[in-house]
Structure 1
Amino acid sequence: MTVESDADVETSVERVKDAIEENDDLGLMAEFDHEANADSSDYALKPTTVLVFGNPNLGTPLMQSARTLAIDLPQKLLVMERADGTVTVSYNDPTYLAERHGLDEADDRLDTVSDALSSLAAVATGQE
C-alpha cells in the first residue's frame, strides 16, 4: 500500500513517530535512516526512512498461528522521497501477509493491524 504525502520525509516521519508515541497500544522499536547510512559509505540516496513498530498483544498470537510471520513483524512503514520529489508512505497490506504466511484472513487481529497501518499512513501523509 502506498500513499502520497503532503509534506517532506522528515515531517512525515515525525508525524508517525508522534502518533505512535501517543498510542498506548503501539511501540516504536527502530528507525532506519537509509539516506544517512548511504551517506556514511559515500553513496547518494534520496531521503528514505523505515519505522518499525508494533503491539506484541496482536503480533504474538499471529506468530503463534504462523511463525514465519516473524520475518515480517513488527510492522514497518517506509517514508521516502521519489525521484520526482514526491514523498510517499508505504506498508505491507496485512491481507498480503496473511496470504504469504497461510493465515486465516478472517482473523480480527488482521483487521486491527490493517486499521492501524492505514491510520498511521493517513497521519504521515496529512490526510488525517
Structure 2
Amino acid sequence: MISTPAGAELIRKESPYPFGETVARFEAVIKDRGLNQFAKIDHAAGAKQAGQELRPTVLIIFGSAAVGTPLMQAQQTMGLSLPLKALVWQDADGKVWLGYDLPADIAKERGVAADHPVISKITAALNAMSDATTKR
C-alpha cells in the first residue's frame, strides 16, 4: 500500500511583502517561467461563504505536463500529487509565508525514487521560484 504525502516536509519561506503582493509575485514567477497556473483557491473566501473566519490563505496549483509526465510514467499515482501546489498564508502574527511540500518526500511516499532526475529539477525550480517571490 502506498501512503499519501501527509508526511512530506513543508518548505516555508517568509515573505517581506504583503499577502496580496506575495500572491501576485508568485503568479508572475509562474508565468515568467512558462508554467501553467491551473487554479487559485482562496480558502479565506471559502471560509467567509461558510460563515467562518480564516486569515488570508491562497492555494495556487501550477505546473508543466512536460515535467510532471515522467513522474506519472514512473508511478501513475503521482497524479494525485501533481500538478504542484504552493500555499501563501498570513499567520496570527501578521507574517506572510509561501510554502510547498518537499518534492522528494512526495515522490518517496508515492513510490517514485527520490533520486529520480525530475525530482531534483522540480526541487531546484521550486526553490528558485520561492526565492524570486520572497526575496527583496
Question: Is there any run of 5+ residues in structure 1 with no aligned partner, and where?
Answer: none
Report the AA paired with residue 91 of structure 1.
Y
User: Equivalent residue for 1:70?
Assistant: 79
8 Å contact 2:104–2:119 — kept in the other structure?
yes
Q: Determine what percentage of the aligned residue pairs are the same residue.
A: 31
Secondary structure, counterpart of 2:114 in structure 1: coil
8 Å contact 2:75–2:112 — kept in the other structure?
yes
8 Å contact 2:105–2:114 — kept in the other structure?
no
1:110 aligned to 110, 115, 119, which one?
119
Q: Deviating runs (4+, > 2 A) in structure 1?
A: none
Question: Is there any run of 5+ residues in structure 2 with no aligned partner, and where?
Answer: 1-10
| Count of aligned pairs between the two proteins | 126
User: Equivalent residue for 2:32?
Assistant: 22
Provide TM-score, normalisation by structure 1. 0.93
User: Equivalent residue for 2:133?
Assistant: 124
CA distance in 1, matches of 2:57, 2:80: 21
Report the AA paired with residue 45 of structure 1.
L
CA distance in 1, matches of 2:135, 2:40: 20
User: Aligned-pair RMSD on alpha carbons?
Assistant: 1.1
Provide TM-score, normalisation by structure 2. 0.88
CA distance in 2, matches of 1:38, 1:106: 39
